[in-house]
Amino acid sequence: MGNVTALFADAFIFVLIPWGLWQLLRRSIPIAILPILVGILLAVLHFPASTIGIPSLYGDYIGWLAVLVLAFTAGLEMWQNPTHSPEAANLPSPTLGRLLGGALVALGIPFVVGTILVKLFFLPLHGWQAPQGNGWIGAMSIGLCISVSALPVLIGIVRELEPVYRPVGQLALKLAVVDDAALWIGLAILQFAARGPDALHGWTGFEGLAVLLLAGMALLSSWATRNLKNPPIWVIWAAVPAYLAAGSWASHELGLHELIGAYFAGALMPPRWVRRLPVETIGTFSLIWLAPMFFGHSGLRIDGDALTWPSVVASLLLVVIAIVTKILAVWIFPPAPGLTHRQALGIGSLLQCKGLMEIVAATILHAHGMISEFAFASLMVLAVISTTLTGPMFRLVSGRARPETAA
Chain-centroid distance of CA 136 in Å reads 22
CA distances from 364 to 65, 234, 260 (A): 15, 33, 10
Tens digits of per-residue pLDDT, 286-309? Answer: 889 998 998 899 888 887 777 778
Q: Give the model's pLDDT for residue 407.
A: 33
In the predicted model, residues of the chain with pLDDT beneath 50 are 82-83, 85, 87, 402-407
CA distances from 186 to 112, 142, 148, 182, 369 (A): 13, 11, 10, 6, 16
Q: Give the model's pLDDT for residue 371.
A: 93
Of 70, 28, 142, nearest to 293 by C-alpha is: 70
Four-point Cα dihedral 304, 64, 37, 32, nearest 10: 160
Q: Give the model's pLDDT for residue 122.
A: 93
Q: Are 62 and 141 in contact (CB under 8 A)?
A: no
Q: Give the model's pLDDT for residue 133.
A: 64
DSSP-derived 3-state class of residue 228:
coil
Q: Give the model's pLDDT for residue 149.
A: 85
Q: What is the pTM of this model?
A: 0.79
Q: Give the model's pLDDT for residue 154.
A: 78
Q: Give the model's pLDDT for residue 346.
A: 92
Residues 6+ apart with CB under 8 A from 79: 267, 269, 271, 274, 275
Q: Give the model's pLDDT for residue 359.
A: 84
Of 388, 396, 361, nearest to 34 by C-alpha is: 388
Residue type at position 74: A
Q: Give the model's pLDDT for residue 398.
A: 83
DSSP-derived 3-state class of residue 150:
coil
Sign, CA dihedral 241-242-246-247, equals negative
DSSP-derived 3-state class of residue 60:
helix
Q: What is the CA radius of gyration of the chain?
A: 21
Q: Give the model's pLDDT for residue 253.
A: 85
